[in-house]
Amino acid sequence: MRKNILVPIDGSEHALRALGEAVEMTKAFGEKIILLNVQYDLETFHTRRFFSREQIQQYEREMSEEVLSPAVEVLRKYDVEFDVKTRIGSPKKEIIAEAKEQKVRSIVMGSRGMGSVMGTVLGSVSYGVIHEAPCPVMIVPARE
């Protein structure tokens, strides 16, 4: 039995707009929201020359908290139950992995995120998520 709503947060306005829709669904179902931010892995041969693994991971955590904090504020205001998660890797792959692990009811996301290519209808992350999601994906448009 699938439940709860996964909302990927990438720091874009689109993601926050999608969050508003997710709040309504979550309230209707009496479930909770799982906020997920995916950070690219900064640990490479080059970064490791200058920083320790711990420093790099600490920086990734801080970046993720910064991106997630406006979403957390929104959810506190609406009095909705939620979990906050950070994953490191490729956004599409990690969103799908989280959806599978948590067996979520659905993924709710904006039509485009920060990494979208101008001129395409769907950002590549949204498109990729629709392609491989184990559950329904709700795409929230940018316009009113």
> Which residues contribute to the site for a second copy (CB under 8 A)?
18, 21, 25, 28-29, 106, 108, 111, 121-122, 127, 130-131, 133-141, 143-144
Nearer to a second copy among residue 18 and residue 38 (C-beta): 18
In the chain the beta strands, taken as DSSP E runs, fall at: 5-8, 33-39, 82-88, 106-110, 137-140
Least distance (Å) between residue 138 CB and a second copy? 4
Give me the least distance between CB of 81 and a second copy, in Å please: 15
Of residues 2 and 61, the one with the C-beta less far from a second copy: 2
Indicate the DSSP class of residue 41.
Answer: -
* Cα dist from 134 to 48, 52, 96, whole Å: 36, 37, 7
Q: How many CB atoms lie within 10 A of CB 127?
A: 16
Shortest approach of a second copy to residue 114 CB, angstroms? 19
Q: Cβ closer to a second copy: 48 or 131?
A: 131
**What letter represents residue 20's amino acid?**
G
Residue type, 137: V
Specify the residue, 16 or 42, whose C-beta has the smaller distance to a second copy: 16
